[in-house]
Chain A
Amino acid sequence: MKKLAPFAVLLLLAPSLAGAQDFLIRGARVHTAAAAGTLENADVLVRAGRIAAVGVGLDAPAGAAVVEAKGRPLTPGLFGGVTQIGLEEVNLEPSTYDAELKLEAPAWQHVWRPEFDVTPAFNARSIVLAVMRVEGVTWGAIAPLAADSLVIGQGSAVTLDGRFDAALPGSRTLFVNWGSAAHDASGGSRAAQYMLFDQAIREVREPGTSGGAALLLPEGRAALKGYLAGGRVVFFVERANDIREVVRFARARGMKPVIAGGTEAWVVARELADAGVPVILDPLENLPNDFDKLGARFDNARLLHEAGVTIAFSQTNSFQLRKNRQLAGNAVAHGLAWDAALAAITSAPAAIFGQGAERGRIEEGRAADLALWSGDPLEVTTVAEQVWIAGSPVLMRSRQTELRDRYLERLRSGATD
C-alpha cells in the first residue's frame, strides 16, 4: 500500500479518542439519570476517566481544561440497545457477518450451543462504531442472532470507544429465542420449548441422562450451568402468555430472566413488576406485525413503567443505534415520563447488564461516559456536540462526516456530476 487517502489515515489509523484528560464541564443542564434528577447550571468534574464531582460552582483543578456548556444539556453516554454492532460490517455481506452460528450439522448441533459466544468476534475497529459514537451512543449490548435456534448463544455489553477489550466486566449474557421466534427450532410447537429446555437443564445437572439423544456437548453443559445459578438470560419473546410462562419457568430453574421484545408485556406488567423482571422494548412497535404481537400498542413503555417494571429501549438494527433516543422521545410523546425515558437509554440498561455501579448515571465515581447536546437530548432536531468515553473526548468524525464534507464541497463548487 503505497498511498493512503487522508480519510483512511484518519479513520483507520488514528485513535478514535484523544486520551483521558482531566476537565470540568461548567454550567450544564445535567440530566443525571440518577436520584438527583436534573441539575440546572451544574458542573461535572472528570478526573482520570471518572466522574470526580457533580455540583454547582465547582473549581477547576490546576491543569484541567474547562468546557463551557452554556446551559446545554449533559447526559450519560447513551445505551445503543441490543444489536449486532461490531459483529457485522455490512449486513448482507456474509464475510463481515459473525452473529449467527450455521454449522453444517444436524440442527441440534447449532440450536443447542449455549457455549457459542460472539464477544471475541466484536470488531472494535468497525466503521459503524464511530458513526454511533458521534451521536452520543457510548455503549451497547451485542447478542448473537439466529432465526432457527432456541438457545442462540452468549454476548456482552461493550463500550464503543474503539478499545480492543471492549466487553464490560460482569455483562456476559445468554440469549434465547422463545415463542414463534423459535418455532422451527422446537419441533413446530412452542410447547416443546419448555420440554427441550428442561431436557438440557437435566443434562447439566445429571450428565449422561439423555444418552445418545443429548442436546448439549460438554462445553454447552459448562456454559449453561453458570446461567442456572443466577445468570442473566435474555429471552426474545413477544406474546403475553409466553412472557408469563417463560418468566416463571426461568426463575424456577435459577435463571435471572430479562424480557426483550416484550410487545405484549403490558398485559402482564404487574407480574413482571412483582418478579422484578426488566423489559427491553422498542416503543415504536405498535402494529400487530405477527400473531405474537396482536396486543402491540404505543403506550407499552408507559404502562410497564407505571406498573413498576424496569424498562430499557432498543431497536434491532446495528446501523441505527443512534435512533434509540428517538425511540425514547416517542415514548414520551405517548405518555411516558421524560425522566423514565432517559433512564431507559442510560441507567436502566446499565442496571440490567450489571453495569449499574459503573455507568449510566452522572454520579461521582462512575465512568465519565458523557454527551453534551445542542438541546433536549430526546428531540430529533438535537445533535450531540461533544461526546466523551471514559473521560476521553471522542473525535467527532466518522466515515459519514467525511463523505458529507467531500460532497458538500462539490455541491458548493458547482462541480458537475
Chain B
Amino acid sequence: MNGMRSLLAVIATAMAAGCAAQAPVSTTAPAATTAGRPERAPFSSTYRAPAAPPTLIRNATVLTGTGARIDDGDVLIADGRVEAIGPSLAAPDGANVIDAKGRWVTPGLIDVHSHMGVYASPGTTASDDGNEATDPVTAQVWAEHSIWPQDPGLEAALQGGVTSMQILPGSANLIGGRGVTVKNVPATTYQAMKFPGAPQGLKMACGENPKRVYGDEGQFPSTRMGNVAGYRQAFADAREYMEDWQDYEAKRAKYEKGEAKGDEDEVAPQPPKRDLKLETLAEVMRGHILVHNHCYRADEMATMLDIAQEFGYRISAFHHGVEAYKLAGRLAKEGVCGALWADWWGFKMEAYDGIQENIAIVDAPEGGCAIVHSDSEEGIQRLNQEAAKTMTRGNLAGLSIPPERAIRWITANPAKSLGILERTGTLEPGKMGDVVVWNGTPFSVYALADLVFVDGVLLFDRAHPAAKPRSDFSL
C-alpha cells in the first residue's frame, strides 16, 4: 500500500498548490529545474481540463459506482468535478441542464487494458510499436513512448463511454515495460492525455506468450520454469541495485554531514550507474509502480503471488485470468483484482478453461475485485455489454448481481487497480467530472452513450456529433 499512500500524498500536495499533480517518475531521477520556468518532470502530464459551465443532469437512474443506485436522481458537475448527487438539486447560474428522464447515468468507464496508440488502427508495419520483443525483460521501456495520439480507436472508445484507460506494452516479454494511464481527451501529444498523478503500471506476462516468442528462437525462456527464473533474476538484480543506491544515499548523507562539520578528508561518494531497467523494478518494489500481470492459469497466478511475496511487491491485477474463477477466494483475500474478459476462451491452451461466469465468480467473495477489460479496440467500445453478459451469467448461477454492483467492474474496480480511485471511478462529490449519460440501461445491446463528459467537459454528444473526426488520420 506504500504506492497508494505516496500517490495520495503527491496528489494532496499538488491540489494544495492548485495545479495538476505528478507522481515522481523515479526517486533516482529527479527532474531538472529550469531557471525562470515552473518545474516539470520530463514526460509528466501537461493535461489541463478546459473550463466548462456547470452541468445538471436531472431525473436519471444513477449508478454511482459505489454500489448504489438512485432512481430519479440528479447529478451536478461544476468546476470539472462531481459536485452533488441526489434528488431535486438546484441548477447553478449558467448551468447546462439536461433532462435525463428514462436515461441512466454512470461514472465514465475505465479500461485497465488497452493498446490504443501502441497497436493503433490502422495496424501498419510502421507503427507496430507495442512489443519490444528483443529481450525477455524490457522493464526500461515505457508504453507512452510508443503512443500515437491520433489512433482513431480513441474516439470510438469515447463514444462507448470510456473516459480513462491504461495503455500497456504487449505480452511478448516476461516484463514488458511501463504502462501509462491516460484520460481519453483529444490531444496532439500523449503528455496532454496523461492522467495527472496516476502511477505508472508494470506489464508482466505469464505463460505461453513469452516462452513462445523466445523459445521459438532457441532463446531463454522456452519453458514456464524458465519464465519464473526470468522474473526472479530480474527482481533479484533490482534488489541489489536498490541496495547499491541505498548504500550510496547513506554514504552521501554521511559525507554531507561531515562536510557540514568541515571534515575535508572524506572522498565524495560516487552514485551507481543508472540502469533504467532495474530502476523500473526498484520503483515497483518501492510501491510507486503498480504491477499488471497478464496471467491466464490459476496455478501460474499462485506462482506469481509467491514471487511478489519473495521480492516484496504487490500485484495490482491479474489480466486475462481466464482461470481466475479457480482462485477467486485467494485473489479476494490478497486484494488482487482480476481484469478479465466476459467470454473469451479457446484460442490457446491457457485459455481452454474459460467460462462465462469468470468475472461474476471473482466478484463474489468478500473483498473480490472483478474488472471487465478489453485488450481490444473493438471490445473497449462495449465494456458495458461485456459487463451485461457476465452479470446475466452470474445471476443465472445464483450470484445475485444487480446493475449497481456490476457497474463497478467497469468503473470503480479498474480505478482501484490503477491507483486512481480517489480521483475518478465513482460519482461522489469531489471526484473528477467523468460522467456518461446512457440512452437507457447500459446493460443492454441497444445501449448507447448519449453524452460523455471528461472533467466536466462534454466531449461526445450523440445528438450533435462533431462535424469532423478527432483524429487527423481520419480526416
A: which residues have CB within 8 A of B? 90-93, 128, 131, 284-291, 293-294, 317-320, 322-323, 326, 329-330, 332-333, 378-383, 400-401, 403-404, 407-408, 411, 414-417
Bitwise, B309-349 to A at CB < 8 A (1) or not (0) is: 00000000000000001111110000000000001111111
How many A-B pairs have beta carbons closer than 8 Å: the answer is: 126
Can you list 14 A-B contacts with CB-CB less than 8 angstroms, sorted by A residue number?
A90-B349, A287-B378, A291-B124, A320-B343, A323-B343, A326-B445, A333-B446, A333-B447, A380-B443, A381-B444, A383-B396, A403-B355, A407-B355, A417-B329
Q: Please give me the residue from chain A that is nearest to B445 by CB atom.
A: A329
| List of A residues within 8 angstroms of B328 by Cβ | 407, 411, 417
Q: How far, in angstroms, from A294 to B471 measured CA to CA in the complex?
A: 13
**Contact residues, B120-154 vs A (CB, 8 A):** 121-124, 152-153
B: which residues have CB within 8 A of A? 121-124, 152-153, 156, 208, 212, 298, 302, 325-330, 343-349, 352-357, 361, 364-365, 377-378, 381-382, 385, 388-389, 391-393, 396-398, 443-448, 473-474
| List of A residues within 8 angstroms of B208 by Cβ | 92
- CB-based contact A318/B346 at 8 Å: yes
- CB-based contact B152/A381 at 8 Å: no
The smallest C-beta distance from A282 to any residue of chain B, in angstroms, reads 9
Task: Taking A317-B347, A318-B346 as given, write out 13 further A-B residue pairs in contact, using a Cβ cutoff of 8 Å, ordered by the A residue number.
Answer: A90-B348, A92-B348, A284-B382, A289-B121, A289-B123, A326-B445, A329-B445, A330-B385, A380-B444, A382-B392, A400-B356, A408-B397, A417-B329
Interface on chain A toward B: helix, strand, loop, or mixed SS? Answer: loop
Q: Please give me the residue from chain A that is nearest to B328 by CB atom.
A: A411
- CB-based contact B397/A91 at 8 Å: no
- CB-based contact A319/B448 at 8 Å: no
Q: How far, in angstroms, from A416 to B121 measured CA to CA in the complex?
A: 44
Q: How far, in angstroms, from A326 to B446 measured CA to CA in the complex?
A: 10
With contacts A287-B153, A381-B388, A407-B325 taken as known, whether A333 is within 8 angstroms of B445 at the C-beta atoms is yes
- CB-based contact A380/B389 at 8 Å: yes
- CB-based contact B361/A128 at 8 Å: no
User: Chain B CB within 10 Å — which of A93, A290, A380 has the most?
Assistant: A380
- CB-based contact A379/B446 at 8 Å: yes
Q: Please give me the residue from chain B that is nearest to A128 by CB atom.
A: B346
The smallest C-beta distance from B447 to any residue of chain A, in angstroms, reads 7
* 10 nearest A-B pairs in the assembled complex, by CB-CB distance: A329-B445, A319-B346, A92-B348, A417-B330, A91-B347, A287-B121, A381-B392, A380-B445, A417-B327, A380-B388
User: Chain A CB within 10 Å — which of B298, B357, B448 has the most?
Assistant: B357
Q: How far, in angstroms, from A404 to B343 measured CA to CA in the complex?
A: 13
| List of B residues within 8 angstroms of A414 by Cβ | 329
User: Chain B CB within 10 Å — which of A332, A382, A401, A407 has the most?
Assistant: A407
| List of B residues within 8 angstroms of A288 by Cβ | 121-122, 152, 473-474
Q: How far, in angstroms, from A322 to B344 measured CA to CA in the complex?
A: 11
Q: Please give me the residue from chain B that is nearest to A417 by CB atom.
A: B330
Q: How far, in angstroms, from A92 to B208 measured CA to CA in the complex?
A: 10
Q: How far, in angstroms, from A411 to B332 measured CA to CA in the complex?
A: 12
With contacts A90-B349, A381-B391 taken as known, whether A287 is within 8 angstroms of B329 at the C-beta atoms is no
User: Chain B CB within 10 Å — which of A320, A379, A411 has the most?
Assistant: A411
Q: How far, in angstroms, from A320 to B361 measured CA to CA in the complex?
A: 21
- CB-based contact B357/A330 at 8 Å: no
The smallest C-beta distance from B114 to any residue of chain A, in angstroms, reads 13
User: Chain A CB within 10 Å — which of B152, B212, B365 has the most?
Assistant: B152
User: Chain B CB within 10 Å — which of A93, A284, A293, A381 has the most?
Assistant: A381
- CB-based contact B348/A380 at 8 Å: no
| List of B residues within 8 angstroms of A400 by Cβ | 345, 354-356
- CB-based contact A284/B378 at 8 Å: yes
Specify which of A293, A379, A401 is in contact with B445 (CB 8 Å cutoff): A379
User: Chain B CB within 10 Å — which of A128, A322, A400 has the most?
Assistant: A400
With contacts A289-B377, A333-B447 taken as known, whether A380 is within 8 angstroms of B347 at the C-beta atoms is no
| List of A residues within 8 angstroms of B156 by Cβ | 286-287
- CB-based contact B445/A330 at 8 Å: yes
Q: How far, in angstroms, from A326 to B473 measured CA to CA in the complex?
A: 29
| List of B residues within 8 angstroms of A92 by Cβ | 208, 212, 347-349
- CB-based contact B352/A330 at 8 Å: no
| List of A residues within 8 angstroms of B345 by Cβ | 319, 400
| List of A residues within 8 angstroms of B153 by Cβ | 287
Q: Please give me the residue from chain A that is nearest to B352 by CB atom.
A: A90
| List of A residues within 8 angstroms of B346 by Cβ | 90-91, 128, 131, 318-319
Q: How far, in angstroms, from A91 to B352 measured CA to CA in the complex?
A: 10
| List of A residues within 8 angstroms of B121 by Cβ | 287-289
- CB-based contact A417/B298 at 8 Å: yes
Q: How far, in angstroms, from A411 to B355 measured CA to CA in the complex?
A: 15
The smallest C-beta distance from A223 to any residue of chain B, in angstroms, reads 31
Q: How far, in angstroms, from A382 to B325 measured CA to CA in the complex?
A: 22
User: Chain A CB within 10 Å — which of B326, B355, B447, B473 has the most?
Assistant: B355
The smallest C-beta distance from B51 to any residue of chain A, in angstroms, reads 32
| List of B residues within 8 angstroms of A415 by Cβ | 329
Q: Please give me the residue from chain B that is nearest to A403 by CB atom.
A: B355
| List of A residues within 8 angstroms of B448 by Cβ | 333
- CB-based contact A404/B347 at 8 Å: no
| List of A residues within 8 angstroms of B378 by Cβ | 284-285, 287
| List of B residues within 8 angstroms of A330 by Cβ | 382, 385, 445
Q: How far, in angstroms, from A382 to B364 measured CA to CA in the complex?
A: 22
- CB-based contact A378/B445 at 8 Å: yes
The smallest C-beta distance from A407 to any residue of chain B, in angstroms, reads 5
The smallest C-beta distance from A385 to any residue of chain B, in angstroms, reads 10
User: Chain B CB within 10 Å — which of A128, A285, A287 has the most?
Assistant: A287
